[in-house]
Amino acid sequence: MPHRTFFWFIFPTALAMVLFIGMPIVSSFFQSLHIETEQVLVEVENCDPFGCKKEIRVDVEASKKLEEENPFGRFNGFNTYLDRNHLAFNEISDAWNNSSNFSEFKDVVLNLPFYKALLFTLSFCFVVTPPVIILGFIVALSMNTLAKSIKTFAIFGAILPMIVTPLIGSLVLFWMIDSQGIIGATIQILFNDPNLSLKASSTLTWITLFTYGVWHTTPFAFIVFYAALQTVPQDPLEAAIIDGASRFQRVRHIVIPHLYPVATFIILISLMDNFRVFEPIIGFSAEGVAQSLSWMIYQDLRNENKMLFGSAGATSMLTIIGIAILLTPVLIRTWKEFKTQR
């Protein structure tokens, strides 16, 4: 009976995970092993009053029939993973053999589409996540000490960046840093340079994207930390006050250890969220200097000639593997701490 009760308790969650996580992953993997069917080309003779000439055209009916016979496309195995737009092993091997020094080799590799996108994605994760954790904790501590009369309005103001959709938020900030926007114009006045622009270089654009990421994600960390602060036991805090501990000492030795599990949860969610960075790149029109793995998938699915489902599937699977690798150290540490506590 207990086993049956547990089964029916866990069944809805397991079913939801299979339907909304397992099946999409399997579908993406299966699609990544196929590429689009080739269009059927025919040579036709086109005649006019000035003579006849031969042209190559697409046989629409034959191409459509071929797609119906192979709805998933042509089987390509793992070749899509190895092509130039993904892992590019052949190109990396050639670069290693032909480069005179490591700097030249690095430049070649980081100009390959997948590694260029991976570099920005990882940079966004590791640059944005730490400030989000720190600022979210500081804001939560500050908010916890406010008077109840103003706390509601302060909390609403603090979570406003998270309420605004990422695309709209990035567009607003994009307009603000424009030369005619309030931030861009102020910077020009401060440095007395009418040509100074935050959009002038790839480095400044990356910094702007990182700043937006911190601004947009910090409210999530704040809300979780603020909720966790309400669970901090008061007895140790009161005892510390009686013993003469300062506010900093109480926070360091009582509050922070109590919030370790919450901080781990925020780190996991933030890393996963930042790894799929996409909307800021579109909102800031930064595609020329910043591409992410999610942006690569978007580009594959809006290809001018044909949607590249196989390429998008391969990028999706590599992204999932990247997230798993990124989260593994945190999960291992959490598991070890859990076993120690037991």
> Which pLDDT value is given to residue 305?
67
Examine the domain organization and report whether 251 and 155 are in the same domain: yes
> Which pLDDT value is given to residue 126?
93
SS3 293: helix
SS3 17: helix
Examine the domain organization and report whether 70 and 89 are in the same domain: no
Binned at pLDDT 50, 70 and 90, residue 62 comes out as: low
Examine the domain organization and report whether 88 and 51 are in the same domain: no
Examine the domain organization and report whether 41 and 99 are in the same domain: no
> Which pLDDT value is given to residue 191?
75
Is there a domain that residue 172 lies in? yes
Examine the domain organization and report whether 250 and 136 are in the same domain: yes
Is there a domain that residue 103 lies in? yes
Is there a domain that residue 6 lies in? no
Examine the domain organization and report whether 44 and 103 are in the same domain: no
- Cβ atoms of 72 and 37 closer than 8 Å: no
Is there a domain that residue 15 lies in? no
What does the alpha-carbon distance between residue 51 and residue 293 come to, in Å, rounded to a whole number?
51
pLDDT (tens digit, 9 = 90+) per residue, 150-207?
A: 888 888 888 888 887 776 777 777 777 776 777 777 777 777 777 767 666 788 889 8
Q: What CATH number does the domain containing 153 carry?
A: 1.10.3720.10
pLDDT (tens digit, 9 = 90+) per residue, 289-317?
A: 889 999 999 998 887 667 788 899 999 99
What does the alpha-carbon distance between residue 302 and residue 287 come to, in Å, rounded to a whole number?
14
Examine the domain organization and report whether 153 and 102 are in the same domain: no
Number of separate domains in the chain:
3
Examine the domain organization and report whether 85 and 192 are in the same domain: no
In which region does residue 123 sit, left (phi positive, over 0), alpha (psi from -120 to 50) or beta (all else)?
Answer: alpha
Examine the domain organization and report whether 150 and 89 are in the same domain: no
Examine the domain organization and report whether 100 and 237 are in the same domain: no
pLDDT (tens digit, 9 = 90+) per residue, 91-136?
A: 999 999 988 889 899 999 999 999 999 999 999 999 999 999 999 9
Examine the domain organization and report whether 280 and 173 are in the same domain: yes
Q: Side chain identity at 147, as an amino acid letter?
A: A
pLDDT (tens digit, 9 = 90+) per residue, 233-286?
A: 888 888 888 888 888 888 888 888 889 889 989 998 999 899 989 988 888 888
- Model confidence at 7: pLDDT above 80: no
> Which pLDDT value is given to residue 341?
67
- Model confidence at 55: pLDDT above 80: no
Is there a domain that residue 21 lies in? no
Is there a domain that residue 20 lies in? no
Domain that includes residue 149, residue range: 115-341
Q: What are the CA-CA distances from residue 98 to residues 51, 85, 90, 166 (Å)?
A: 51, 20, 12, 43
